[in-house]
Amino acid sequence: MELNDNTLESTIKENRVVLVDFWAEWCGPCRMLTPTIEELENDFADKAIIGKVNVTDNAEASSQHQVRSIPTIIIYKEGVEVERIVGLREKSFYKDKINYYLN
């Protein structure tokens, strides 16, 4: 799910668990992470929101959430940031984190 300056906050507040990938098209590691994010979105379609924020196009959201390097993954539970992951990890790492916060 593409999120932006206008939709990010409401998405975080209105959903129990939200994973947001802050990325940019020019970022090689971000592009490598894209298939994993898409798979997670399918895997958790009815359980959690998996979204992406393009930092180039959404500087306000990036600044508000203090994203300093990319890719940065932030997991929110019930509207609050509970975990921040900078850099690439295996799909299973993200999957385990989402499952943890869903329980």
**101 closest CA partner among 37, 47, 33:** 47
Q: Which residues partner with 18 through β-bridges? A: 49, 76
Tokens of 74: 């932030």
Q: Which of 17, 20, 30, 75 is catalytic?
A: 30
**2-102 is classed in which CATH architecture?**
3-Layer(aba) Sandwich (3.40)
pLDDT value of residue 38:
97
The model's pLDDT over 59-93, given as tens digits with 9 standing for 90+, comes to 999 999 999 999 999 999 999 999 999 999 999 99
Tokens of 44: 């958790």
Q: Which of 4, 9, 27, 41 is catalytic?
A: 27
Q: Which residues partner with 54 through β-bridges? A: 23
The model's pLDDT over 27-62, given as tens digits with 9 standing for 90+, comes to 999 999 999 999 999 999 999 999 999 999 999 999
User: Are 97 and 48 contacting, i.e. CB atoms less than 8 angstroms apart?
Assistant: no
Quick check: is 30 catalytic?
yes
pLDDT value of residue 11:
98
The alpha carbon of 30 is separated from its chain's Cα centroid by a whole number of angstroms, namely: 12
> What is the distance between the alpha carbons of residues 53 and 48, in angstroms, rounded to a whole number?
16
Quick check: is 80 catalytic?
no
